[in-house]
Amino acid sequence: MHLILKQNYFQINTNFLKKWASFADMNNEIALDSFTSLTKLEKYVLLHSQWKVLYDNKSDSVCNLSNGIALLKQIFDWWWVGVYRVNGEQLMLGVFQGPPACTNILKGKGVCGLAWEQGNTLVVDDVREFPGHIACSWESISEIVIPIRLQSGEIWGVLDADSRFLSHFDATDKIELEEFCRNLGVFLSQ
Ligand code: SME
């Protein structure tokens, strides 16, 4: 599937866009699945920029979250990525991409429930060594979970990304996904 970038995205003058430029067609459109040569940081620059283009303030949270999660999946190709949202004393599965997943997670349980309880990002290099890890898929080996806060400070839910590779998530992922979640939080507060 090709996701077509809007022309105004190309007003950003960075070197990595030149790598993309060769893929642009006569209509100033580009296939988003042609970016394997980008570094991790370049992918995050792309993520933040493209999210602003895709975000549609005339649409609701399911619509916008769906595009946000699809964007993450397409750019990073993680095994699973999605949100769990706070529902009383549990997290409930929200918009995601990847295999079917656990629907409800109690506060403090698993990586997601603990990140919610602690209000902090958790990076797990090897989920097999994380006590209480909830295995929705045996393919997941490493994981990052970031709380999503509304502008009031209240936690709306968490963003969860799983990889089939050991120690896949590092400090760059933590910093950049926290930035992405801050942007999500602003949007979810509207
Ligand atoms: N592994 C998570 C559960 C969610 S799935 O990974 C999609 C956890 O331990 O909370």
**Of 6, 2, 1, 97, nearest to 56 (Cα)?**
6
| pLDDT given at position 75 | 94
* Mean pLDDT, residues 146-161: 98
Q: Where are the domains of the chain?
A: 1-75, 78-190
Q: What is the pLDDT of residue 166?
A: 98
Query: Residue 65: helix, strand or coil by DSSP?
Result: helix
What pLDDT does 36 receive?
76
| Ligand 1, atom 6, residue with closest C-alpha | 136
Average pLDDT value over all residues in the chain: 86
Q: Which atom of ligand 1 is nearest to the CA of 136?
A: 5
Say how many Å lie between the CA of residue 100 and the centre of ligand 1. 11
Q: Tell me: pLDDT of 20 over 90.
A: no
Task: Give the CATH superfamily of 78-190.
Answer: GAF domain (3.30.450.40)
